[in-house]
Amino acid sequence: MITVEHLTKRYNGGQLAVDDISFSIDKGGVWGLLGPNGAGKSTLMNMITGYLSATQGRILVDGVDLVEEPGKAKALMGYLPEIPPLYPEMGVEEYLNFVAELKGIRKKAQRTQEVQKAMEQLDLTGMRHRLIRNLSKGYRQRTGLAGALLGKPQIIILDEPTVGLDPAQIIEMRELIKELGKEHTVILSSHILSEVQSICDQVMIISQGKLVAQGPPDSLSQSRQVLHITAQGKAEQIEKLLKKIQGLEKLTLEHTQGEEVTFTAACAPDQDLRRSVSLTLAKEGFPVLALTSEAPSLEEIFLKLTESHVPEQEEME
Amino acid sequence: MIAVFKREWKSYFSGVMGYFLVGFMSMVCGIYFWANNLINASADFSYTIYCTTFAFLIYVPILTMRSFAEERRTKTDQLLLTSPVSLTSIVLGKFLAHLAIFGLSVVLMGLMPVVMGFYGSIDWLRILGSLLSYLFLGGSCIAMGLWVSSQTESQIISCLASFGLMLLAYLIASIRLLLVSGNLMAYLVFLGAALIIALCAGVRGGAPLGMGVFLLCVILLTGVYLFSGSWLAQGFSGVMEAMDLFTPFAGFVYGVFDLSSLVYYLTVAGFFLFLTGQSLEKRRWS
């Protein structure tokens, strides 16, 4: 549905916001862009929707090149930016009519029908004559989303759709996004892990302008298994033995306490190395005191993938 | 384009701004109409129109200040630029909406000579020619204001900068008379302009670039000055003439239907609308 090739954005000040990102998004489902603040999510979305131009790279929307045929490509997408682009002096229905016309729905009857449908879908019918200036944040967000739905776009792009909403509204918005994912391809960005985990079918983790991981939330958290090994004996000797075991990676010494040494190691999810670790150590006379294996949560992966950049991010903000 | 036009038009009349601007222009014209045509019992309405051009200095900056600046501040430009609407339609839609608001004032002004027509004969062709040219003059001023507004996020800055530009365009006819003398004068003024350009270049691209640009300009200008000084004076006079927005309008007031003036106004409007489109495009790249 959307193919992004070697996309790079360097702002005028020399700041690299998006750094050579390539991915492709298939039709259907909810896709989440996850990353800490300042990771380049908004820049990426602004480029995909054609608000910003890319310094390098190519964007194809359903096979249509965004640079060559911007009108055609933009018509396929509905975008709700982080701050909903609303005109405060307009009424809700008036605004939606304007957006519909902007999206090229020429016939008045069709326009009225689509606006009506979008208002019903987002429960805005009771607010249709209110001025946007007088709406609460939740209703503004809904009005913006209703605007994004007009013109029957195949792709809906939402930048931080739940920021600033109260807990009840957040749950409502999430339900709505799941609902939208059945008919459209939805791409949303978020810095909240649980949100992405609960509503997205696919997750892309972005850090420092780079795509660092991609996959369904379950497979991401099952991509590695972590082993914690505690044994009694000399650290160097135990390490030497463990290194011989096939499939055991990233062996690190966590801590030593007298005779007790603790290592952590990673291995593939379908391998259970606990038996061979225990047997190998016991054979050489090192008693195994504790041995556990666990799959890291998405949160741990997220922190691990993004932690090395934390100080720089603070600088960027 | 129609959507942008309609929204822009409505937004002016959903608040007081539209009514204020139309009222202001009508009031200015009304005062001159009263003083020139009613009190002095003159049938020369074209001259009355001519007198009101000074009001552009206030009218145009206030009319155009929010056009692009406000969209940028509230980020509603994200909606326009991510919609399947071309940049040209956005700029043209906005321009035509502003022109229509001004056009409304022109139509109201056109009613005044109708009143005079009840009491005597008036030169309708001359008045219509003047009103047409007045509309064109207004259009080129509005295009200039839109361009200024597209440069900034602040309505105030946009308003003040447009006022400065309008003032320059308004006064340039008098400045021209002061500065006609000699090649040296033209040389010095061009040097001053080169310095400003070099400063802008320096701020944008670093000190070496600014100095390089200035050095190049100095060498070129000095060369031309020593080789054939009168070229500079002629060029200077040409530049001044191109910047002089208001003088071509005077021709129409005196009853000369001058097509080249209309073409001049169209060129100025087109030039600034093009720059506006470019500055919107440039923002996507920065």
Phi and psi at residue A131, to the nearest 5°: -75, 140
pLDDT band at A315 (very low <50, low <70, confident <90, very high): very low
Instruction: Provide the token pair at B12.
Output: 């002016």
- ipTM of the modeled complex: 0.84
CA distances from B214 to A48, B223, B224, B232 (A): 40, 14, 15, 17
Structure tokens at B207: 């000190």
Q: In angstroms, what CA-CA distances link A142 with A120, A126, A136, A146?
A: 11, 13, 10, 6
- Three-state DSSP at A104 gives coil
DSSP letter (8 states) at residue A272: -
Reported as a pLDDT band with limits 50, 70 and 90, residue A279 is confident
pLDDT for residue A221: 66
Nearest CA distance, B83 vs chain A (angstrom)? 6
Q: Quote the pLDDT of residue A78.
A: 94
**Residue in chain B nearest A83 by alpha carbon:** B75
Residues in chain A whose Cβ is within 8 Å of chain B = 11-12, 46, 49-53, 70-72, 74-75, 77, 79, 81, 83, 85-90, 94, 98-99, 101-104, 147
The dihedral sign for the CA sequence B147, B151, B154, B158: negative
At B151-193, the pLDDT tens digits run 999 999 999 999 999 999 998 888 777 766 677 777 888 888 8
Among B75, B78, B88, B153, pick the best mutation site for testing chain A contact (most A Cβ within 10 A): B78
Q: Does B82 touch chain A (CB under 8 A)?
A: yes
Does A225-294 match A2-216 at the fold level?
Answer: no
Q: How many residues does chain B have?
A: 286
Which chain B residues touch A81 with a CB distance below 8 Å?
75, 78
Neighbours of B22 (CB within 10 A): 18
Q: For residue B206, what are its two tokens?
A: 């670093």
Model's pTM, two decimal places? 0.83
Residue environment code for B43-54, b if the CB has 16+ CB neighbours within 10 A, otherwise e: bbbbebbbbbbe
Collect all residues of chain B within an 8 Å Cβ-Cβ radius of residue A147.
Answer: 79
- Whether residue A280 is predicted with pLDDT greater than 70 in this model: the reply is yes
pLDDT of residue A222: 63
All residues of chain A having their beta carbon less than 8 Å from the beta carbon of residue B87 are none
| Mean pLDDT for chain B overall | 89
Q: Please report residues of A whose CB lies closer than 8 A to that of B75.
A: 81, 83, 85
Fold for A225-294, please state it.
Alpha-Beta Plaits (3.30.70)
From A150, A148, A144, select the one nearest A116 (Cα to Cα): A150
Choice between A126 and B206, residue whose per-residue pLDDT is larger: A126
SS3 B37: helix
The whole-number pLDDT of residue B12 equals 92
β-pairing, A225-232 vs A29-34, is: unpaired
Q: What whole-number distance in Å separates Cα of residue B120 and Cα of residue B66?
A: 43
For chain A, say whether B2 makes contact (Cβ under 8 Å).
Answer: yes
Contact B209, B255 (CB under 8 A): no
Q: Report residue A88 as tokens.
A: 């405060």
**Domain A2-216: CATH class, spelled out:** alpha beta
Cβ contact (<8 Å) for B83 and A86?
A: no
- A71 neighbourhood in chain B, CB within 8 Å: 84-86
Q: Does pLDDT of A197 surpass 70?
A: yes
Chain A environment of B83 (Cβ under 8 Å): 74, 99, 102-103
Contacts of A115 (CB under 8 A, 6+ apart): A93, A96, A97, A100, A150
- One-letter amino acid at A22 equals S
> What tokens were used for A261?
């040494």
**Chain B CA closest to residue A150:** B83
B85 in contact with chain A, both atoms CB, cutoff 8 A: yes
Secondary element (H or E) of residue A2: strand A2-10
* Cβ burial A134-173 (10 Å sphere, 16+ → b, else e): ebeebbbbbbbbbbbbbbebbbbbbbbbbeebeeebbebb
> To probe the interface with A, which of B82, B89, B153, B203 has the most A CB atoms within 10 Å?
B82
> What mean pLDDT comes out for the span A9-19?
87
pLDDT in tens, B193-218: 888 888 888 877 778 888 888 889 88
Residues B77, A85: C-beta atoms closer than 8 Å: yes
More confident residue, A219 or A230: A230
Starting from the edge strand earliest in sequence, which strands make up the sheet with A260-267, in order?
A249-257, A260-267, A225-232, A288-294
Query: What is the Cα–Cα distance from B267 to B245, expressed in whole angstroms?
Result: 11
Q: How many Å separate Cα A257 from the centre of its chain?
A: 41
Mean pLDDT of A123-151: 92
Q: How far is B10 from chain A (nearest CA, A)?
A: 9
Residue A98 is predicted with a pLDDT of 94
Most confident option among A223-237, B34-48, B242-256: B34-48
The size of the A-B interface in CB pairs under 8 A is 70
Non-local CB neighbours of B83 within 8 Å, separated by 6+ positions = A74, A99, A102, A103
Dig out the tokens for A39 from the structure: 């990771």
Give residue B121's pLDDT. Answer: 85
Q: Is B86 on the interface with A (CB under 8 A)?
A: yes
The answer to whether the CB atoms of B75 and A83 lie below 8 A apart is yes
In this complex, the residue of B7, B76, B286 whose CB is nearest that of residue A86 is B76
Please name the residue ranges forming H helices in B118-228.
124-149, 155-178, 183-205, 207-227
Q: What is the mean pLDDT of residues B115-143?
A: 91
Question: In whole angstroms, what is the distance from residue A261 CA to residue A256 CA?
Answer: 4
Mean pLDDT of A170-192: 90
Over residues B98-107, the pLDDT tens digits come to 999 999 999 9
**Given a cut of 70, is residue B78 above it in pLDDT?**
yes
Q: How many residues does chain A have?
A: 317
Report, as an integer, the average pLDDT of B31-59. Answer: 91
The C-alpha atoms of residue B193 and residue B172 are separated, in whole angstroms, by 15
Check pLDDT > 80 for residue B230: no
Strands A185-190, A29-34: pairing kind: parallel
> Is B88 in CB contact (< 8 Å) with chain A?
no
**pLDDT recorded at residue A316:** 41
Which positions in chain B touch A94 (Cβ < 8 Å)?
Answer: 10
- What gap in Å lies between CA A216 and CA A32, rounded to an integer? 10
How many Cβ atoms are within 10 Å of B109's Cβ, its own excluded?
Answer: 24
What are the start-end ranges of the E strands in A11-164?
Answer: 16-25, 29-34, 56-61, 64-65, 77-80, 155-159
Distances (CA, A) of A143 to A86, A169, B273: 8, 14, 32
Q: What is the DSSP letter of A132?
A: G
